[in-house]
Homo-oligomer: A and B are copies of this chain.
Amino acid sequence: MINQLIEKIRRTGAPIVAGLDPVLKFVPEHIKQKAYAEYGETMKGAAEAVWLYNKAIVDAIYDLIPAVKPQIAMYEQFGVEGLITFQKTVEYCKQKGLVVIGDIKRGDIGSTSEAYAVGHLGQVQVGSTMCRGFDEDFVTVNPYLGSDGVKPFIKVCQEEKKGLFILVKTSNPSSGEFQDRLVRGVECADRPLYEIVGEQVASWGAACMGDSYSYIGAVVGATYPEQGKILRKIMPKAYILVPGYGAQGGKGADLVHFFNEDGLGAIVNSSRGIIAAWQQEQYAGYGAENFADASRAAVVDMREDIAQALAARG
């Protein structure tokens, strides 16, 4: 799957993932009214509104980008109905030829991580039948529990030829609270925790190589370009999923250090910046009716911003 992702990035010229993280305030009124008219102001109504909204955006942008990243929390907030929409969205995006990164940030003790891994990436045995659950192509994983919380995910990725992005340095303002703590070195100088985690990701990934990159990648926020530079060196073969572009403050110029010399090695996520483009001044001209066209314009601009930044680094 990592080879497929890279091939799609080359073909589209867009190291971009669209974050399908719908909240109801992003969804235009006419879509909500349609859904509520059918299912009422209920969880089912909300889930239907999100589905209609997602589908229109995916239809408008699927040919421009290699991948989408639905954030499962935004579906889970609507309970079971929301998760039905999550599943429909995953299936629909795959039909459209998109790589789907489930942003689930799961991670638990071994036997529990195994259940998450089979539910999201693999197959579960029921009697003599193998069944698939959410069936994303990649998922994000939280490493706080250490190797035995991560290895069940790696095992399923090996079997299914899928992949992971493991949280190393997250994009949020307080990510440093624990991730930046200086850890005492034994034979070397003290280093922040995220470097230790990054080394571990590189080590897990070494046994999981695609053609040129590992299918065990990392999450490093665009909002921390200096740390990105260091982590790029610590994990040369890890694909880096970079959130925090756009709404969270990351700019094209901040991204260059996340990429390798080959112009590969990173894929940049934008959520609000793409899916709620119609609410931004820059794209307001499209109007609520044409929200999906606004999203398409935002993808084109983002592609250009990244391409210019990469070109400028020489």
Q: Which of B87, B125, B171 contacts A109 (CB 8 A)?
A: B171
> Within 8 Å CB of A110, what residues of B?
172
B109 touches A108 (CB 8 A): no
Number of residues of chain A lying within 8 A (CB) of chain B:
77
From B77, B129, B172, give the contact of A118 (CB < 8 A). B77
Q: A227–B149 Cα gap in the complex (Å)?
A: 20
A133 to chain B, nearest CB (A): 4
Interface status of A89 (Cβ within 8 A of chain B): no
Decide if A113 touches B41 in the complex (CB within 8 Å).
no
Copies of this protein, total = 2
CB <8 Å contact, A144 and B146: no
Closest to A43 in B: B131
Is B190's CB under 8 angstroms from A174's CB? no
Residues of B within 8 A of A148 (CB): 172-174
Query: Do B80 and A84 touch across chains, with their CB atoms under 8 A apart?
Result: yes
- In the bound assembly, the distance between CA atoms of A9 and B144 in angstroms comes to 30
- A135-171: CB near B (< 8 Å → 1, else 0) gives 0000000111111110000000000000000010011
A127 with B184: in contact, given A74-B115, A78-B133, A119-B78 (CB under 8 Å)? no
Contact A178 B146 (CB under 8 A): yes
> A83 at the A/B interface (Cβ < 8 Å)?
yes
The reply to whether B193 and A174 form a contact with Cβ atoms under 8 Å apart is no
Is B115 a contact partner of A76 (Cβ separation < 8 A)? yes
Task: Give 1 or 0 for each of A215-247: 1 = CB within 8 Å of chain B CB.
Answer: 000000000000000000000000000010000
Between-chain CB contacts (< 8 Å), 6 pairs: A23-B111, A73-B106, A76-B120, A77-B133, A142-B142, A181-B196
